[in-house]
Chain A
Amino acid sequence: MIIRIRKLRKVYRVGVERIHALRGIDLDIERNEFVAIMGSSGSGKSTLMNIIGCLDRPTSGTFELDGRDTGTISVRDLAIARNSWVGFVFQSFELLPRMTALQNVELPMIYSKSGWRTRRQKAKQALDRVGLSDRITHRPSQLSGGQKQRVAIARAILNTPTVLLADEPTGNLDSATTREIMELFEQLHDEGQTILVVTHEKDVASHCGRVIVLTDGLIASDTKQQRNTPAMVGTEPC
């Protein structure tokens, strides 16, 4: 079991109001699963994502990542946990504009204890895995949207994370590029990577082996499916 969540609650305080973002979630995710987390805005999917990504801590309940409870560790140890066990992919790529693709990919290893050579070598390997070995000296402004997201994915897999978290990874991409990126995720999944994708696009979710739908801070449905199941695609509202 890679992710084990029990009775997870998260309460935010905005002024005197309390917002219950998560109201008691139980969830288990196995190694090498490819999970989509769906839900309308305000359903709590981002909060869940932040807790799984060690960016935030639950108000109550437990969250164990690969057997380690993150509920009580310090801010510094959370940062170290993110560095070693989590890889993030964001909707707007979040590449640093002044750095080359290679330097962007190297970034997580700047904050871990690794030598210059290893870092360079691993960053090149990661770029190779996402098919961008010919773009290492390009800056983000010289790359297309799909290429930027590939660089971001290379950065996320650099430290071989326990779990790869993608928050609306295709939100800023057209449909052809979306397919490309999702195929890349599938490829990484086939190589053994555990992946969680937060999305509201059913098209994207159809690439995943399991779809969890959140509503009002609770799990509304949790279904396993064959990858690329057209059944889900057919129910698309648009």
Chain B
Amino acid sequence: MLNPFFYLQAVFLALGQIWANKVRSVLTTLGIIFGVWAVTTVVAAISGVTTMVLGEFEALGGSKMFIFPDRPDDAPRNKYPWEMIRLKPAELHALAEHCPSIIGITPQTTLGATIQHGVRQREGVKVTGIWPDWHEIERRTTLIGRPFMGIDEDDARQVCLVNEDAIGELGLDTDPTGQHIQINTRRFLIVGLVENEKESMFDQSTTGTEVFIPFATAVKLQRPQFFFMIIMKLKGPEVVDEAKAEAKFVLRQARKLGPGDPDTFEIFAADEFIEGVQKVANILTVGGACVVAVSLLVGGIGIMNIMLVSVSERTREIGLRKAVGATPAAILMQFLLEAITLCIAGGLIGIGAGEATAFALSNIPGIGLEQAAVPWWAIVMSFSFCAVIGVMFGMFPAIKAARLDPIEALRHE
């Protein structure tokens, strides 16, 4: 093939040519510059929005998994009685022990109770039985006092946590730890104060007095066949499938379900929402890319136009190069490399402008694009697309140059 130095020389020659016709080159590549600028900015904005939405999900319940008892569809009630499908404490312990993809697990059972503190009494207050992992899973730490610990559960202690609203509603001290309240007929010691439930962009939670007690204690207060659900925290969003499979396996084994039997429970992962968001973002990105591809094609036509001008302007040079021994392939390569260099230079400017725009967007407060950034794949894609455009639209002028007759070319005025 050709002298390797030839390629280098051709690139330098192309750069020299571009430099010599600065204004013309810039105008020519404007199409490419704007195209790449648009694509990088759009992609950066979409990725910014996606990151933000996913971040909200993460805060709300990302990487969480829920298990509910569930009667199989269309199955007769007598075939699957409640006692059979309800979750049982033994299953809870089995899940905690045999699911390596989870880092936290808590049951959650709720009962309406009458709470009394001194002379104040409130009916139908939400009392929830939980495990210590609940703090971590729900991201609700104690403001004052201590969170639940293993020993509270193991000994089924008569201790409780209250939320901020409870202070006012039950007339507790600002620091309620050490005070006692009466739940139904039993006396509980308040050991800590937890925050009210946070409001997120997805639901406006209703607050009010909330009381939390150890799950083992709650079991004693509940009816015999009481309902509870299980919430688990996963190691990360990437282990959703593994975690689901593990939980399913453990539960089916605990319930001695045969290979043909349907599940008598339901497992639901919050990450399924995230996949949906991701899908929408991908569709938006592809749509944007298509629009931009059209503008890049238009830019490519500009490149072709200027390359044709360049070929006819430099006919004598081509004639001379041929006379001193340039093969048609060498001439083709020279003009092709020039077109590609133009496109790639335009692409680089476009990417630079896109990066700058993304940076500017991420610094405008209040438009939700703080996380806008050009992802690496968008840069690689724009770059290769520019090279492809260069080859596509540089080919015709280059072939024209390669086919010139050296005698005619040298006579050209």
Q: Which residues of A contact B (CB under 8 A)?
A: 50, 53, 55-56, 75-76, 79-80, 82-84, 88, 90, 94, 96, 98, 107-108, 110-114, 116, 119, 155, 159
- Does B16 contact A55, Cβ atoms closer than 8 Å? no
> CB-nearest residue of chain A relative to B314?
A96
- Does B406 contact A55, Cβ atoms closer than 8 Å? yes
- Interface positions, chain B 307-355, Cβ under 8 Å from A, are 316-317, 319-330
- Does A88 contact B328, Cβ atoms closer than 8 Å? no
In the assembled complex, the CB of A77 is this many whole angstroms from the nearest CB of chain B, namely 9
Residues of A close to B290: CB separation below 8 A? none
Q: Return the contact of B330 from the options A56, A88, A111, A114 (Cβ within 8 A).
A: A111
> CB-nearest residue of chain B relative to A93?
B320
Q: Return the contact of A79 from the options B9, B316, B320, B327 (Cβ within 8 A).
A: B327
30 residue pairs A–B, Cβ–Cβ below 8 Å: A50-B407, A53-B323, A55-B322, A55-B407, A56-B407, A75-B328, A76-B327, A76-B329, A79-B322, A79-B326, A79-B328, A80-B325, A80-B327, A82-B324, A88-B324, A94-B323, A96-B317, A107-B321, A107-B324, A108-B324, A110-B3, A110-B9, A111-B3, A111-B6, A111-B324, A111-B325, A114-B3, A116-B5, A155-B324, A159-B325
> CB-nearest residue of chain B relative to A165?
B323
Residues of B close to A155: CB separation below 8 A? 324
Interface SS, B side: helix
- Does B325 contact A98, Cβ atoms closer than 8 Å? no
Q: Which residues of B contact A (CB under 8 A)?
A: 2-3, 5-6, 9, 16, 20, 316-317, 319-330, 406-407, 410
Residues of A close to B329: CB separation below 8 A? 76
Residues of B close to A112: CB separation below 8 A? 3, 325
Query: How far apart are the CA atoms of A111 and B9 in the complex, in Å?
Result: 11
Residues of B close to A119: CB separation below 8 A? 5
> CB-nearest residue of chain B relative to A53?
B323
Query: How far apart are the CA atoms of A98 and B328 in the complex, in Å?
Result: 22
> CB-nearest residue of chain B relative to A76?
B327
In the assembled complex, the CB of A108 is this many whole angstroms from the nearest CB of chain B, namely 4
Query: How far apart are the CA atoms of A183 and B372 in the complex, in Å?
Result: 72
- Does B6 contact A94, Cβ atoms closer than 8 Å? no
In the assembled complex, the CB of B13 is this many whole angstroms from the nearest CB of chain A, namely 8
In the assembled complex, the CB of B304 is this many whole angstroms from the nearest CB of chain A, namely 23
Query: How far apart are the CA atoms of A56 and B410 in the complex, in Å?
Result: 13
Residues of B close to A113: CB separation below 8 A? 3
Query: How far apart are the CA atoms of A110 and B320 in the complex, in Å?
Result: 13
In the assembled complex, the CB of B310 is this many whole angstroms from the nearest CB of chain A, namely 13
Residues of B close to A53: CB separation below 8 A? 323
